[in-house]
Amino acid sequence: MRLFDSHVHLDDKRYDKDRDELIASLPEQGIEFAVNIGADIKSSKASIDLAEKYEFLYATVGVHPHDVKAMKDADIDMLRELSKHPKVLAIGEIGLDYYYDNSPRELQKKWFIQQIKLANECDLPIVIHSRDAVQDTYDMIKEYNSGSKVLIHCFSQSLEMAKKYVKDGAYLALGGALTFKNARSLLDVARQIPLEYLLIETDCPYLTPEPYRGKRNDPSKVYYVAQKIAELKGLSLEEVVETTNFNARKFYGLS
């Protein structure tokens, strides 16, 4: 098995007691690659530290919309420097979150734009977080992105929006929510969006798939996302694993 978990948070405190043991066990559980995602300056640095320690781990750097309320211009300079590390593959996760509104919306928009521009400047792809901000996210990517590849992480929008994104050449990442009993619209996305536009992720420690829902998530459980896509599309598990692996390597620029 050559699973590629495109979005993990292994620096999260929920792994403090067994992080090294867990990560070291992942290759034998079929994980070929995983990307640890930055959500603020601290976690961006922690992502790089993990990527330096484990050959199969890579990193992104960025500030999540929850945390942009504390951003300063110097943070963009810091992200620019961090992005030069050879194992940093993208800017993210960045975007808009109108569900929690942990940061004022105007600040979310300001720093989303600034980080899109940073990705363009650094010639890096962008990992997008969007929750209850469907149209604003789409419109701002269309207006301000000037060439960076785009991945909508933990895609939870309508099939109509999924089709708009893939028409623009964006990728969509599906996670554990696809296995939930109330995932009706996501099932349509998984069935109808061509496999060449899909990545798989856990977003661990969050969104643990069935049959482990309610427990701490980890990258080995991305298997269940691949399995669900295979079931919905009527494909072999091997084809889904290989194609999503290829898609993730293409998006992140790994040979």
144-186 tens-digit pLDDT: 999 999 999 999 999 999 999 999 999 999 999 999 999 989 9
Beta strands 150-152 and 57-61, pairing class: unpaired
Mean pLDDT of 90-116: 98
- Which residue, 90, 83, 94, 9, is CA-closest to 46? 9
Over residues 55-77, the pLDDT tens digits come to 999 999 999 999 999 999 999 99
| Confidence at residue 56, expressed as pLDDT on a 0 to 100 scale | 98
In 10 A of CB 77, how many CB atoms? 11
Q: Quick one: pLDDT at residue 243?
A: 98
pLDDT in tens, 217-237: 999 999 999 999 999 999 999
d(CA 34, CA 116): 23
Categorize the per-residue pLDDT at 99 as very low, low, confident or very high, splitting at 50, 70 and 90. Answer: very high
Give the DSSP letter string of 169-206: T-EEEE-GGGGSTT-HHHHHHHHHS-GGGEEE---BTS
How does residue 255 score in pLDDT terms, banded at 50, 70 and 90?
A: confident
Number of residues in the chain: 255
pTM over 0.95: yes
Quote the CA–CA distance of 158 and 213 in Å, as a whole number: 23
User: Mean pLDDT across the stretch 133-137?
Assistant: 98
Terminal C-alpha separation, the chain: 18
Residue 208 carries which DSSP code?
P
The alpha carbon torsion through 150, 155, 158, 162 (nearest 10 deg) reads: 30
Residue 138 has pLDDT above 90, yes or no: yes
DSSP secondary structure of 32-93: EEEEEPPSSHHHHHHHHHHHHH-TTEEEEE---GGGGGG--HHHHHHHHHHTTSTTEEEEEE
Please report, as a single letter, which amino acid is at residue 105: R
Q: Using CA atoms, how far apart are residues 74 and 72, in angstroms rounded to an integer?
A: 5
Per-residue model confidence (pLDDT) at position 132: 98
Does the pLDDT at position 33 exceed 90? yes
Task: Using DSSP, state whether 251 is helix, strand or coil.
Answer: helix
**Mean pLDDT, all residues of the chain:** 98
Mean pLDDT of 16-40: 98
